[in-house]
Copies of this chain bind each other. A is one copy, B any other.
Amino acid sequence: MALRAKNALTPQSDARETKAEASRAKILNVAQKLFARRGFEGVSIRELAEALGMTTASLYYHFPSKEEIFVAVHGRSLEAVQREVMDAIAGLKDPWDRLEAAAAAHSRNFASPERTGASIAAEYYEGSLAPFRKIMVPQRDAYERLIAMLVADLQLPAGVDAKLFRLQLLGALNWIPVWHRAGSGLSAEEVARKFVRHLRQGLDPAFRQAHKKSAAARKRS
């Protein structure tokens, strides 16, 4: 019945329960790709099962419902992008450079058809997913706090609301998969960097000065 109900200190230690977890991961990988392309309601579980080379009944061995698959994809995607953003900003000191690197990592995760894409927006839809918003919103909040922290470090000029600034940037980034096609012109990451720079030129008082006197003296802690 339940997939994980055994005692924590079971004798057979290590390589156990790998089969089910491998299947689960494979399901999530394929589901992520399909949901990103056609949305939650645009993908049937038969379609997903066929893409996986299994039957729908097998899917329901690993997940109790279609919605739970989506929630798992949603959570895994947000954990991945959070990890990649933290890696991307690790070595950088300047807050605008950190935001730019974060934006690039964000787009690398969400703007590709291989990745989550539009599914991150689907949580706002009404319908059968609505009861799961109380699971998905906290999943997203942790990532949102990370971005909000990066924005807070910018020391935006008075009169510019940090929340509005964040929503403007993330909106522009999240819309990239709608129009961007791989191979034509700039990559999604490059686009994301340009978006940050467009805003930076306006909202960072120091940037304009530094950029006007070429670009030499930039090396502080």
Contact = CB atoms under 8 A, between A and B. Distances in A.
Oligomeric state, in copies: 2
A191 interface: yes
Contact of A170 (B121, B161, B175): B175
Interface in A144-190: 160-161, 164-165, 167-176, 178-179, 186
B168 A125 contact: no
A126 interface: yes
Nearest to A120: B178
Contacts of A175: 167, 170-172, 174-175
Interface stretch (A15-23, A37-45, A79-87): A37-45
Contacts of A118: 121
Interface in A1-60: 37-39, 41-42
Nearest to A190: B164
Contact of A42 (B125, B174, B176, B179): B125
5 contacts: A39-B41, A168-B194, A171-B179, A172-B175, A201-B202
Interface of A: 37-39, 41-42, 118, 121, 124-127, 160-161, 164-165, 167-176, 178-179, 186, 191, 194-195, 198-203
